[in-house]
Amino acid sequence: MTIKNLPKTIAIIPDGNRRWASLHALSIMNGYDLGVKKFIEFSEWCVSYGINNIAVWAFSTENFSRSDKEVSTLFAIYKKVANDKKILARLHKNKTSLRLIGNRKLLPKDLNDALKKVEVETSKYKDRIINMLIAYGGKDDILHAVKNVASHVKNMTEINDALVTKYLLSNTVPEIDLIIRTSGEKRLSGFMPWQTTYSELYFSNKLWPDFTKRDLNSALLEYNKRQRRFGR
């Protein structure tokens, strides 16, 4: 079946890495490591469909409440990937830029520096973008905007959508057409509230490491059937 209407911007909430590791008697690190590799594949599947703007929730502000060991493990994996020359080469090959979205002050300096280096080295690419949400929370994003708007306006009548958008941590991310969440969880958990007002939602029962290109195709076929009225 031909997919005529593809989302311009797609988001993935890659849930289920820990459960997958537990089911396969592997460590959490193995689960997360496979999850990161799966996202790299996912981003290239999107390129093959002509979907050039992706948002991925890599680490939420709420995830800091997990054990120190788990948090440090995940950060170590992200640092390893950021320093992997083969990964950087793939970004260059696909002419894809990495943009970091979130409160970077919450990240360890070595991780922040490693990710920032990739962000800078790929910043020349404008047509294909991976928005990596790390140390990101939806409420935190809105609060950041509200505080900055309050300190920059003198009259309430100056406040509008464009002004609030300007001061979001996620101000470079456009409105999201399709959100995919894996592992059977059916909620957004505060995922980019400003950009998801009219997003189409697709929930997959697959744990993230088991997600395939065929599963993405199923999500896109479902999206293709949706009638997006935007309140009309």
Residues 135-193: tens digit of each pLDDT:
999 999 999 999 999 998 888 888 999 999 999 999 999 999 999 999 999 999 999 99
Residue 163 lies in a domain: no
53-60 and 9-13 beta bridge pairing: parallel
pLDDT of residue 112 exceeding 80, the answer is yes
Q: What b-and-e string marks burial along 147-174, b requiring 16 or more CB atoms within 10 Å of the CB?
A: ebbeeeeeeeeeeeeeebbebbbbeebe
Catalytic positions are: 15, 63
Instruction: Give the pLDDT of residue 157.
Output: 87
The band of 227, judged by pLDDT with boundaries at 50, 70 and 90, is confident
Residue 1 lies in a domain: no
Mean pLDDT of 209-229: 95
Tens of pLDDT, residues 14-25: 999 999 999 999
- Answer for the pair 127, 94: CB distance below 8 angstroms, yes or no: no
Residue 3 lies in a domain: no
Tell me the DSSP string of 17-35. Answer: HHHHHHHTT--HHHHHHHH
Residue 145 lies in a domain: no
Residue 45 lies in a domain: yes
Tens of pLDDT, residues 33-72: 999 999 999 999 999 999 999 999 999 999 999 999 999 9
Q: Tell me the angle at which helices 213-225 and 28-49 cross, rounded to the nearest 10 degrees.
A: 50
- Answer for the pair 74, 59: CB distance below 8 angstroms, yes or no: yes
CATH classification at residue 218: 3.40.1180.10
Instruction: Give the pLDDT of residue 225.
Output: 92
**pTM for this entry:** 0.95
Residue 43 in tokens: 């981003």
Residue 124 lies in a domain: yes
pLDDT of residue 86 exceeding 90, the answer is yes
* High-pLDDT (> 70) share of the chain, %: 100
Instruction: Give the pLDDT of residue 3.
Output: 87
Instruction: Give the pLDDT of residue 1.
Output: 59
Tens of pLDDT, residues 135-147: 999 999 999 999 9
Task: Determine the structural domain holding residue 208 and report its residue range.
Answer: 9-137+174-225
Q: How many domains does the chain have?
A: 1
For residues 112 and 197, what is the distance between their CA atoms, to the nearest angstrom? 30
* Among candidate residues 88, 90, 91, the one with its CA nearest the CA of residue 80: 88
